[in-house]
Amino acid sequence: MKTRKLGNSSLEVSEIGLGCMGMSFGYGTISDKSEMITLIHKAVESGVTFFDTAEVYGPFINEELVGEALAPFRGEVVIATKFGFDTTGASALDSRPEHIRQVAEASLKRLKIDTIDLFYQHRVDPNVPIEDVAGAVKDLIREGKVKHFGLSEAGVQIIRRAHEVQPVTALQSEYSLWWREPEAEILPVLEELGIGFVPFSPLGKGFLTGKMDQNTTFNSKDFRSTVPRLAPENIKANMAFVDLVSAVAKRKNATPAQIALAWILTQKPWIIPIPGTTKLHRLTENLGASEVELTSDELLEINTASSKIAVQGERYSSGSAKLINR
């Protein structure tokens, strides 16, 4: 597995990471703990050194799982986690400095580590100035409890203001072949400031794997059941994206998922996607994208064809947009 650096920082990780949220949260089921530990160990054995979790996933149980699974590999892997929700109050955001500190202390214990490698603000809190948030993380970095500061789903001005107080190592936001909004304003600012980019949902919440169709149904507790663009009528229209990556995949002796991930890897050398999975064969498939080389002609084909496809449906329902980030 090749490695990449997150922007201008010293943080170097595998070019494909592992998003761990779905093992404990978001899809209506909690996967078997021993099976997930086996999967995480397989990821490490396959060269993955970048693992993503958050306090709110569960809440708490995903951090505990990741902490237990990665305990044998201390110093060999990078663990990213997140703060910013009031886990006692359903949906409220809370990035008050005193709360950030409380979350950091609790996350350190659950993850069984002495320092959090990358600490993201999970969502921008409109009630707390970003300068106060960045300052709180700066204090934690000074104390050795955190190494790097990250943001998630933040806009250009928030990124700039935070970066002035404490250099931002990475931004985590949704990005894939069928959600390219960050290209307009976000990616140029990240490049200017030397900030790495960590796309979540790089496979479009599973859609770009080609394993869904208009007959696909989701458990009512699966957050995808509320995603407008995954509604049956929209899936039918959006299948043009799957047809595109499938056609390229067939010629490359690859899978649609591998083409979708390989496409992301070609965009910038400081972009590190974190596809999630609970299945060993999907892990192997996703990591195989690292070996897929897309030519300039193939990239032109993908970009030209995808630009002509009108995506149907919003990426989130209005109620879940701030809560779910996979």
Q: Is 57 a catalytic residue?
A: yes
Q: What is the DSSP letter of 130?
A: H
Q: Which of 57, 120, 175, 316 is catalytic?
A: 57
Contacts of 304 (CB under 8 A, 6+ apart): none
**Residue located via tokens 């806009």:** 155
DSSP letter string, 222-254 = BGGGG-GGGSHHHHHHHHHHHHHHHHHHHHHT-
CA-wise closest residue to 204 among 224, 189, 184: 224
C-alpha 141, offset from chain centre: 22
Q: What is the SS3 assignment for 117?
A: strand
Q: What is the SS3 assignment for 168?
A: strand
Q: How far apart (Å, rounded) are the C-alpha atoms in residues 199 and 201?
A: 7
Strands (E), the chain: 3-5, 12-14, 18-19, 50-52, 78-83, 116-121, 146-152, 168-174, 196-200
Q: How far apart (Å, rounded) are the C-alpha atoms in residues 99 and 29?
A: 29
**Residue located via tokens 């690292």:** 290
Lookup: tokens for 203: 């496979």
Phi-psi domain of 92 (left: phi exceeds 0; alpha: psi -120 through 50; beta: other): beta
Give me the helix-helix angle, 156-165 and 186-193, nearest 10°: 20
Q: Are 263 and 305 in contact (CB under 8 A)?
A: no
275, β-bridge pairs: none
Catalytic (active-site) positions:
57
